[in-house]
Amino acid sequence: MKYKDLLHFNPITEVVKFSKTSNRDYQKNLIETFVFSETFRDYLLPLIIQNLDFESQDESFGIQIVGNYGTGESHMMSLISLIGEDESLLPLVKEEKAKQELSKIAGKFKVLKFELGNTESLWEVITFQLENYLADIGVKFTFEGHGPKTYSDKIQLMMAEFEEKYPDKGLMVVIDEMLSYLKGRSTADKLNTDLQVLQALGQSCDASRFKFMFGVQEMIYSSPEFQFAAETLQRVNDRYKANRITVEDVAFIVKNRLLQKNEHQKRDIKQHLDKFLHLFTDMQARTGDYVELFPVHPTYFENFERISIGKSQREILKTLSNQFKEMMDEEVPADNPGLLT
């Protein structure tokens, strides 16, 4: 047997980029290919929607999506923001429970999303992006000329102008690569200022139609580079809800998107692996995991998460896709389990 006989390989060829999400076909593909893990469907998504629902009476927080490079945080933010902006995309969601949650925000937002990749201050970047976006949608507003008002006060002034033009809409700002940007800030003073802006953006989400979401590769608050600003970090932390993509979520994506199998294929894989039960202390107890994830060893994801050298090495879904692409025409070895470790 060849590997391609034992699974339906559906590759992930690239990491999601916000710059491409204006393309309609790209939008549809992002939503149709999204795989909802149980944790995301039942816990993370309801928490995110609760904080985006501006009709809710509960206290609202900013949202941060945490996951290593290539684990799907950009895909997750794209799914939420695309449906938040365009209700017609909602029927493309394949998971019914997730669709019901997303319906609470579908079509209710104007959405600005961008990736950070510059050296200007966070406030300069965000206000520049907001002013340009607001002008594009017919809202005249500038952050200049309001005197010594706080960041939060200026966000409120902006929202007053926005709501006059769009009284039934919210404004969602979505940013990716936040941690990489913050690590690039060269001095403690610059970083402290940026963290104060981040705190204000999260604070501005409460009792407001303004909503803010960003993606990071690890928890900002535990990053050793930032521990000198522990007090400011705690204030930022208090204004956000963290939603972490776990190794279990990534494994779920792999077996339900990259490596789909029918029952006949699962039976053949089990027969192959049964010959090597004596080599693995946990295979008997975790037979289902070994079969569902074949040809990936279940501990692959835990080991991959520990790699911290080089961005490309940590793009786990893309890395696996490239490996599988080369393996599909290879024969499954008869003398070993043929697992990626």
Q: Against a cut of 0.75, is the pTM above it?
A: yes
303 CB neighbour count, 10 Å cutoff? 11
Spatial distance between the Cα atoms of 220 and 178, rounded to a whole number of angstroms: 9
What integer pLDDT is reported at residue 24 of this predicted model? 94
Spatial distance between the Cα atoms of 135 and 120, rounded to a whole number of angstroms: 21
Q: Where are the alpha helices (DSSP H) in the chain?
A: 24-32, 38-39, 45-52, 73-85, 96-102, 122-136, 151-165, 178-183, 188-203, 230-237, 247-253, 263-274, 287-293, 300-305, 316-327
pLDDT 10s digits, 164-212 = 999 999 999 999 888 888 888 867 888 889 999 999 999 999 999 999 9
Residue at token pair 């690239």 = 14
Note whether 296 and 259 are within 8 A (CB).
Answer: yes
What integer pLDDT is reported at residue 323 of this predicted model? 84
Spatial distance between the Cα atoms of 122 and 26, rounded to a whole number of angstroms: 29
Spatial distance between the Cα atoms of 173 and 84, rounded to a whole number of angstroms: 11
Q: What share of the chain is helix, strand, coil (3-state, %, to 5)?
A: 55, 10, 35
**Residue (of 62, 69, 52) closest to 126 by Cα position:** 62
Residue 217 has pLDDT above 80, yes or no: no
What integer pLDDT is reported at residue 11 of this predicted model? 76
Cα dihedral sign, 94-22-45-56: negative
Q: Which residues of 127-165 are buried (b: 16+ CB within 10 A; e: fewer)?
A: bebbbebbeeeebebebeeeeeeebbebbeebbeebbee
Q: Which amino acid is at 285?
A: A
DSSP strand pairing (240-244 vs 8-9): unpaired
Note whether 68 and 310 are within 8 A (CB).
Answer: no
33 CB neighbour count, 10 Å cutoff? 15
What integer pLDDT is reported at residue 284 of this predicted model? 87
pLDDT 10s digits, 225-265 = 777 777 888 888 899 998 888 878 888 888 888 889 999 99
Find residue 296's DSSP bridge partners: 340
CA distances from 58 to 53, 205, 207 (A): 9, 11, 8
Structural domains of the chain, with CATH: 3-12+247-327 (no CATH), 34-244 (3.40.50)
Which has the minimum average pLDDT: 1-15, 93-107, 261-275? 1-15
What integer pLDDT is reported at residue 248 of this predicted model? 82
pLDDT 10s digits, 88-129 = 999 999 999 999 999 999 999 999 999 998 889 999 999 999
What integer pLDDT is reported at residue 312 of this predicted model? 43
pLDDT 10s digits, 274-328 = 999 988 888 888 999 999 999 999 888 777 666 554 444 446 777 788 888 888 9
pLDDT 10s digits, 53-64 = 998 889 999 999
What integer pLDDT is reported at residue 51 of this predicted model? 97
Predicted confidence band of residue 71 (pLDDT cuts 50, 70, 90): low
What integer pLDDT is reported at residue 185 of this predicted model? 80
